[in-house]
Amino acid sequence: MLENAVNKKSPFRLDTKRSLAEQVSDRITRLIVDGHLVAGDRLPPEKELADQMGVSRTALREGMRTLEAKGLLQIQPGIGTIVRTVGPHQLVEPLSLYVEVSDGAVSAEEFFAVRAILETEVASLAAASRSDADLDTLRGFMVDMERSVDDVNAFAASDASFHEALAKMTRNPLLSLLVGTLRVLLEEHIRDVVGHIDPVVDVIPYHVDILDAVEAGDPELARKAMERHLAKVVENYYSTVSPKRK
């Protein structure tokens, strides 16, 4: 049962039977999703909003803190509560955090499968939409990789940056963000493997092929170059880090 009389004409009125704080969070989220609240809007003062929603200030504050943690609201003391700009990062950031902290929860097989699904398409799209500036960026990361073959950490960072740059070239911000969530695992896998192989032979030539295909503007050639690279990644991993593949 709600704690106060409900103003049935208010768009903030609650109509579910979940906990009061969850109702607050759900209702305001729905107003944002439906476009009734947009970035920059200021919510009513706390007492007024609590009355409209028919909840106590305590329940209201708890629900608002949940939305602030999700990045949907910004609570500014002395100013009020503002609706934040909503973008793809609200979806992706929790996934990135999960990947980073869930030690062992993502298997090598799962990681490689996701890369194959995402990055072959990334290479194809990048080839179709590349610009001269994009190509300069990729070449820069290639130079960084070549210069850091004896520095595992620097090499891993440059390699991961090459793949992130490809994703940005697709002009699809959500795809770019999804690839970005893999960066933690990607750098970890590169560091694990590169110390046991010759990157000049086993890594760099495959990136050169990808770059050449993208520069040629050939989506299918870029896709196949990425497929060959990822197949080599799997081969390198199971011949060094995990030789006893199940």
Q: How confident is the model at residue 130 (pLDDT cuts 50, 70, 90)?
A: very high
State pLDDT tens for residues 10-68.
666 655 557 888 889 889 988 987 889 999 999 999 999 999 999 999 999 999 998 98
Do 93 and 187 lie in one domain? The reply is yes
Would you say residue 126 has pLDDT above 50?
yes
**Which among 67, 83, 99 is the end of a domain?**
83
Do 142 and 185 lie in one domain? The reply is yes
**Which among 64, 83, 102 is the end of a domain?**
83
Do 72 and 164 lie in one domain? The reply is no
Do 34 and 105 lie in one domain? The reply is no
Contact between residue 81 and residue 24 where contact means Cβ atoms under 8 Å apart? no
Do 124 and 230 lie in one domain? The reply is yes
Q: How far apart are CA 222 and CA 92, in angstroms?
A: 26
CATH code for the domain in which residue 29 is found: 1.10.10.10
Do 130 and 67 lie in one domain? The reply is no
Amino acid 4: pLDDT: 40
Do 56 and 97 lie in one domain? The reply is no
Q: How far apart are CA 23 and CA 245, in angstroms?
A: 49
**Which among 54, 83, 112 is the end of a domain?**
83
Query: Which of 194, 204, 163 minimizes the C-alpha distance to 181?
Result: 163
Q: Does residue 15 belong to any structural domain of this protein?
A: no
Would you say residue 93 has pLDDT above 70?
no
Amino acid 5: pLDDT: 37
Full residue range of the structural domain in which residue 32 is found = 20-83
Q: How far apart are CA 184 and CA 97, in angstroms?
A: 9
What's the half-sphere exposure (Cβ side, CA atoms, 13 Å) at 162? 30
Do 103 and 71 lie in one domain? The reply is no
Would you say residue 102 has pLDDT above 90?
no
Do 36 and 152 lie in one domain? The reply is no
More confident residue, 207 or 7: 207
Contact between residue 182 and residue 99 where contact means Cβ atoms under 8 Å apart? yes
Q: Count structural domains, the chain.
A: 2
